[in-house]
Amino acid sequence: MKFQLSWTTLPGLRGLSCSEFRATLTKAPDNERGVAVKCSSEAERDALIAELEAYFGPQRFLNAAAAFDAVKDYVAQRAARRT
């Protein structure tokens, strides 16, 4: 199953934070404007969302582009480890 990841980026005193991660089932992932990921089940998707929340929750970013690139790189590295 292919999912399109999205999240909320909010400003804070120490920089931008990423939270409220979600994954929407998609037939046509948009890797140009978003982060697409393959999961074998909804349980795996839910585990990924929890992992992203835990990993990115305490992090802060200087701008939205840095936050987006960090999430995209994390998901790509995770996929590479799984293969």
User: pLDDT grade, residue 77 (50/70/90)?
Assistant: very high
What is the gyration radius of the CA atoms in the chain, in angstroms? 13
Q: Around Cβ 69, how many Cβ atoms within 10 Å?
A: 13
The answer to whether 62 and 55 are in contact (CB under 8 A) is: no
- The domains of the chain are located at 2-82
Q: What is the pLDDT of residues 17-49, one digit of tens each?
A: 999 999 999 998 887 778 999 999 999 999 999
The answer to whether 78 and 70 are in contact (CB under 8 A) is: no
Which H helix or E strand runs over 2?
strand 2-10
State the average pLDDT for the chain: 92
pLDDT at 30: 82
